[in-house]
Structure 1
Amino acid sequence: MSPTEIPKEILEAFKVPVLFKIVAWFSTSLICALGIYASFHWGDWIHFARAGAVIVVLSLALEASGYIDKYLDKILNMINEISPEIVLKQVMKNKHMYGLKGNESKEQLVQIARKENSRRLTDIGNVASNQFYKNLRRTEFTIATIGTLIWGFGDLLEALIPLSA
């Protein structure tokens, strides 16, 4: 099953939650603000550069948190609770699509529906995890890049805005 075969509504539900991004960007902004405050308070831009190092660590912590795996498991478990009945109805209604002749027992239909449901969940899980990781990695990479630039060049702001007299 390709990403184009899964309805857009399902893919939208599998996007990284907005709250995760808000927390990530708020934390990044707060660390920057604290770094700027510390730099003005102690009169040295090196504190702002160190804030960049903390931002890089934040990016690594976001990756290591396992948040996306937990979120994906939660959604797949919710789908798994309602999906088997729907798949069974589809198998019973469209027997020809599953290579059935119409004389199968209820147990055989249930077994076929379970296999089809498992296949669908695997496909949805693969596509969704790709979407999640792509979206999450973009956020993490951007935060890590910002942190690295601040870490590497933050103390050079002394040349533009001297804090020491």
Structure 2
Amino acid sequence: MKPLTYLHGEPKIVWEEEEIQQMIINEKLQYAAMEKFSYGWPDIQELRRLIPKQCDLKGEVNIGLLSNRYVLIRASLLEDYVNLLSKPQFYITHNYRSYPMRTLKWDPLFDPEEETTTTIAWISFPSLPLNFFGKKTIFSLAAAVERPLQVDMATQNRTR
């Protein structure tokens, strides 16, 4: 239990960044993506069946309703997480209807009333010397923009 403190007579609890990161891991949210349906969607049971197949997810996923238009997908594999975030939109087909589903990165401060400003981007380092192609080096360079997710296959294999 975290100790309660008071600020101007109001109770508050303070968590350190490391504690918040541990909560994210404990709740299996490190590979969490949100899917936004703007124009209707099948019921949640159907989505749990359809999304893994139609989004080509390989590992186990937990799919739950966040709000009236948002679904949370907690992937167990980094590969599935990257797959979800690398495509800005999927189309879920059910009963001869197609439902556009927009993928967003889950954020602990998510508010369904506000549009998210977080997105996924590919970062390119033109003319990068070969001795900088190691994963730790690439991740260190990419961290200048934000937390890197993955190195592409061409870089890993040093083919391009």
TM-score by length of 2: 0.19
Q: Which has the higher helix share?
A: 1
Q: Which has the higher contact order (CA 8 A, sep 6+)?
A: 1
TM-score by length of 1: 0.19
Q: Which has the higher strand share?
A: 2
